[in-house]
Amino acid sequence: MRELSELEKQNEEFLVNKRISFTTVMMTHNILSHSIFDANKQIVKYLKEQGLHDYDIQKNGKDERVMIKTHILTFTEDVLSKSSLYKAGTRGDKRMWFGAAVLPYTDDNDIFAIIAHEGELYIINESKFDFDLCYMTNVDNPIKVFLKGIKT
């Protein structure tokens, strides 16, 4: 993974300071063109710890996929999608995808914060949005409403 930008570092520090548990994924060109990514150890561990999904007990194959309600949060929108989680047929590689709805909200190599909350996923592009500014503004926005609503 590439080095984080200053904004991305600030956003991750913001989440840590607010005691909001999260993980991240970098949306590479390959991920965006194939509409799938390998759920790395960090993501697999996070989803299990949050009680959202356990790849260890999931059977292999696309027919065994699990769909999780997902919110793509921006300053102006809460876009509903569904994340697909499955293990590849023969090798059992752990795979994930946020759904096609994410495509208009990401560019190559953007970093998304992934936050599990009340059985759903919330993803925020930390390469594009200043979490602290969204949180502190007097304007209600989906990022602010969600982050203020999390009980830590």
Q: What is the DSSP letter of 139?
A: S
pLDDT recorded at residue 100: 94
pLDDT recorded at residue 152: 60
Q: Which two tokens stand for residue 135?
A: 């949180």
pLDDT recorded at residue 90: 77
Q: Is residue 126 a contact partner of residue 112, using CB atoms and an 8 Å limit?
A: yes
Quick one: which of 39, 100, 40 has its CA closest to 70?
A: 100
The fold of 6-149 is At1g16640 B3 domain (2.40.330)
The tens place of each residue's pLDDT in the chain, 152 residues long, gives 689 999 999 999 999 999 999 999 999 999 999 999 999 999 999 999 999 999 999 999 888 999 999 999 999 999 999 999 999 887 889 999 999 999 999 999 999 999 999 999 999 999 999 999 999 999 999 999 999 999 76
Residue ranges per domain, the chain? 6-149
Amino acid symbol at 36 = I
- DSSP collapsed to 3 states, 61-128: CHHHCEEEEEEEECCCCEEEEEEEEEECCCCCCEEEECCHHHHHHCCCCEEEEEEEECCEEEEEECCC
Q: In whole angstroms, what is the distance from residue 116 CA to residue 128 CA?
A: 20
